[in-house]
Structure 1
Amino acid sequence: MDTETVADVVTEVVLPGVVEPSGLEIRVRPAPQPAAGEVVLGLEASGVSFAEQQMRRGKYYDQPAFPFVPGYDMVGVVLRVGAGVDTALIGRRYAALTKVGGWAGQVALPVDGLVEVPGELDAADAETVVVNGITAWQMLHRIARVRTGQTVLVHGANGGVGSTLVQLATHAGIRVIGTASPRHHDAVRALGATPLDYRAADLPARVRELAPDGVDAVFDHVGGDGIVDSFRLLKRGGTLVSYGTAATKNDTGSSRLPVLKLIGRLFLWKLLPNGRRTHFYNIWAGKRRSDTFHDRLRTDLGRVFALLADGTITPQVAARIPLSRAAEALRLAESGTVTGKVILVPDPAQNTSDAR
């Protein structure tokens, strides 16, 4: 690839403070240069997840100080490499967890955190299962260790993580009950789950009708008081995996308090002599042990990519929206009207590379 064709300035989306989606700012800056051990990825796709929705409210647990560029994960082509990095990587497509920074035309990242994307996969399709796929796979297979023939309850089964989790579970021969708004029930049913209205006052009773002895695992991104029902719906030996506090997203006050209260509650339940397990899932757990963290990242996302490539699971792309219209993308993701993940893609005139 002729690196002279790579843009020397890039567009990025900046979150300047606690703002409505319309308050996002589009800025242009010089293209990043990779340090030793880094590459520069040219953006092909970046997702709009619940993390960014919380960040714009100043409510994400460990977000950086404003202003910053959001973007929890991305897929892109290697444009430049730093010292010590094989130049053969240039022109190849990789996925990466970024936590922040992904909503930009080019991003400098450590090479050891990259996961190669199979060549036959579309970038936006692959992006739907980066953070969502890692989260779903690890919660299902590493944390809850659900087995074929068991039954699980997935809250938000139409969402990015939920829709991926449903597909991974059904592929493994696991029965899935999925909560969602009634307008999403057909989509949830098509993924292989039995849908229930998450707003139904008798939701626990309806779950019990389908699983009289309780479920083997509950995957709950909601938190709040509803976490009590999630725990009570477990059968003996079952596992509650909590991975968010969506119920408190509009609460004022500390961004950390709802998470800490939730973790405290889960810890106390873990001490009860009832055979039930609880776990608060954090995708970044083990990051200090970088070798183990990155090995698991590559292994787990590689498995999900393989299932996506062979058609076992279907990418749930809610919309593809140009980077310069990030405000529109964020509003759509927050609307609750879509199934799957809203994806940001480069603007038509923004050529980050000629590699693909």
Structure 2
Amino acid sequence: MRILWLNWRDIKHPLAGGAEVYTHEVAKRLAARGHEIILVTSRPKGLPPREEIDGYTVIRRGGKYTVYLEARRLYHQLKKEGWRPDVVIDEINTVPFLTPKYVKEPIVALIHQLCKDCWKYAVHPLAQPLGWWLEQRLHKPYIQAAKRGNLKVITVSPSTAQDLYDLGYPPYAVAIVPNGLDWELYKDCNSQKRDLVTYVGRITPYKRLEDLLKAWKTVEKSYDAELIIAGRADPRYLARLTKLAKRLDLSRVNIKANITQQEKKALLAEAKLLVYTSVREGWGQTILEAAACKTPSVVYNVPGLRDAVKHMETGVIVKPGNIEELAKTIVLVMTEEELGKRLGEMAYLYAQTFSWDFTAKLFLKEINTS
């Protein structure tokens, strides 16, 4: 097939996250099967306008906001040049490409999560209702197209699927294709565990890492361990977290703004516990990667995270915003050696049921029937 894939970022974007990993891992596997893929995305400083990555073509145009207009122009330009897609994948990260308004070919909307309650962390609190209202409005043409049978939706978790049903998407148009796991990277993820708790992921407001720091103040009183927070960081939020850590007088906290894949793997392998306190996630890719290293997770009971963790089997799910419960749970898993080991072993077995090869196979099946 000829596949035109629209996404606001690609795997080489400085702010690429879990959605871009999903896109890259699936796209390169579809390309290896002989499918022709053009990924249209924004162009950050320092990246070329066109590039071949692992068998698929990346065309970069526009910035954070103008990429949506550029994608529409490029769609028409490619068709004028004789390149006609068999399917268009519209990957929606809050702002959609509005493909039902102009694309004539079958459309697949790839939706990892809705922004929904994340709006209060992305904009001024007074603007939050407007943000959620606007997000709902932007989904209307997609819902209408899905009801007419002109559009299929792929999402990554039951929680996001339920959010889409609540928004008005017909269940028959929604398919769940879960994230996978890079076993080439994590197949030998065996390191000696140490008294380390970590968070690895984007360091941005909706991750609510203030809660983790506040809980750590309690943890430090009863258990001598190190906390490392690592990942791509929003500079202003990073400064806020650093200031909070100093105000709380936390003695064993290290915040790393940028790490490599190998550093990430080492952290997940050495840690006894991964902690996630996000407002919501599409899934929880790092939780799966930690599980491949026999590292269990403590997470908030929110969409995405509750899908990635099986309570008291592969980790522990706690009430969002309950700092005391979060702290007690961290101490419990870290100090009860048998519990931590059992959760880690079960997490590892659970991780083995995921692979990017399976994800790509299922994804291809769904877009073939779009």
Q: Given the two structures, how large is their TM-score scaled by the length of structure 1?
A: 0.37
Q: Which has the higher contact order (CA 8 A, sep 6+)?
A: 1
